[in-house]
Amino acid sequence: MAGWPWWLQVALVFVAARLVSAAIFMAAAIHQGANPWFPPAPDYWNFITIWDGRWYTEAADNGYPSELPVDQNGVVKENAWAFYALFPFLARGLSAITGLGTLQALTAIAMVAGLGAALVIFRLFGEFAGRRTAMWGVVFVSTFPVSPILQVPYAESLNLLLLAAALLLVVRRHYLMAIPVVLLMCLSRPTGVPFAAMLGLLFLRRLWLRFRPPPGSPTSPGTSARELVALAVLGLVTCMGALAWPTIAWAVTGDPTAYTRTETAWRGHDLVPFKPWFDTGRMLFGPVLGVLAPFVFAGLFVLLMTSKPVRALGTELRLWCASYMGYLLLFLHPQTSTFRMLLPLFPLALGAALLSRSKAYRGTVVVMFVLLQIVWVVWLWAWAQLPGGGDYPP
């Protein structure tokens, strides 16, 4: 395969990984019992369309409510405003053109976008590593424990494609060309805020290097006034894009907090920055260790970001990973869906590939990832009602 075109190699890697995930889904589906969506032991196509796929179908078929649904206490109930519009509206368009059902259209878009994301990720990784190592980075992303999400009707694959494309354009310093990509990304999933934070930090660094160049480098490359202006424009547009969906929800419902109230409907309490991490820490580790757990987690992440393999990722990718993790620490309510939300940290897959060139190491990582896919699908994707009702979401 070494002499084949790069795009064919990447496509084969991604398709092979998705076939492995499909086998895991089908094996789990055989053992699926009673659930809220269909009879026990469903086929593959029914099995992959559960959970949030039904919410995206609701948004595509019926749009978004003009009034927020509330319970008898005035608390907002779960509704479609938690699911950004780009993915379901693309599915609506594809359904109108082809006659496919909404769930089938959502699944088709997710699969195609996942393949596109793998291709773009290879080009992005190629900016920092050789072809073989970049390919191993794509293998790691394609087999990551939550990578089955790239072939189900969720918006993760579309967001991953747009995020990787935006990062590639930023790395190549095509800031103005990145604007339409970033705006679409902001309408696919809530990654606009950390992306804007990354651009702000990058702008400050470029500004610092312009006026304080490193010793022996009086003219630091890439710090011209033109590039600084273009980067600032991209940052401002990203800020507006990050606020676009909450603003649309406000305009349609008349409630300025429509989006945040909808998001918190899944967690059962108001959004308080950082607090959910300490609540979860105390629940898992007790009143003392639970308070320390978030600090330990943050410290370990800092050590990871300062390690030699990760430092090789370049400024933009490291700033993205740091900004996105900061966003999760600030706003996320950690629970079983957290594993899926780590997917935008995909640049760290290249760091993992750079850690060692040993085939034994890299092969072991892939095997462990596939085994953890089985854990993720059986534990979180398959439905098994908890004693108190419901189930842990994937």
Cα 125 to chain centroid, rounded: 17
| The pLDDT of residue 215 | 63
| The pLDDT of residue 213 | 67
| Closest to 33 in 3D by CA, of 22, 14, 47 | 47
Q: What is the pTM of this model?
A: 0.95
Is 393 within a domain? no
Is 388 within a domain? no
| The pLDDT of residue 216 | 57
DSSP state of 215: T
Cα 217 to chain centroid, rounded: 37
The tally of domains found in the chain comes to 1
State the residue range of the domain holding 55. Answer: 6-381
**Per-residue confidence band for 272, with pLDDT thresholds at 50, 70 and 90:** confident
What is the number of residues in the chain?
A: 394
Is 208 within a domain? yes
Report pLDDT digits (tens) over 67-88: 999 988 888 999 999 999 999 9
Q: How far apart are CA 68 and CA 52, in angstroms?
A: 18
**Per-residue confidence band for 266, with pLDDT thresholds at 50, 70 and 90:** confident
Is 387 within a domain? no
Report pLDDT digits (tens) over 20-57: 999 999 999 999 999 999 999 999 999 999 999 999 99
Is 223 within a domain? yes
Beta-bridge partner residues of 70: 76
Is 1 within a domain? no
Structure tokens at 110: 């997710």
The pLDDT of residue 387 is above 70: yes
Report pLDDT digits (tens) over 77-123: 999 999 999 999 999 999 999 999 999 999 999 999 999 999 999 99
The letter for the amino acid at 11 is A
Is 386 within a domain? no
Answer whether 356's CB lies under 8 Å from 362's CB.
Answer: yes
The mean pLDDT of 165-174, rounded to a whole number, is: 97
| The pLDDT of residue 219 | 47
* Exposed/middle/buried for residue 389 (C-beta within 10 Å: 0-12, 13-18, 19+): exposed
Is 14 within a domain? yes
| The pLDDT of residue 2 | 76
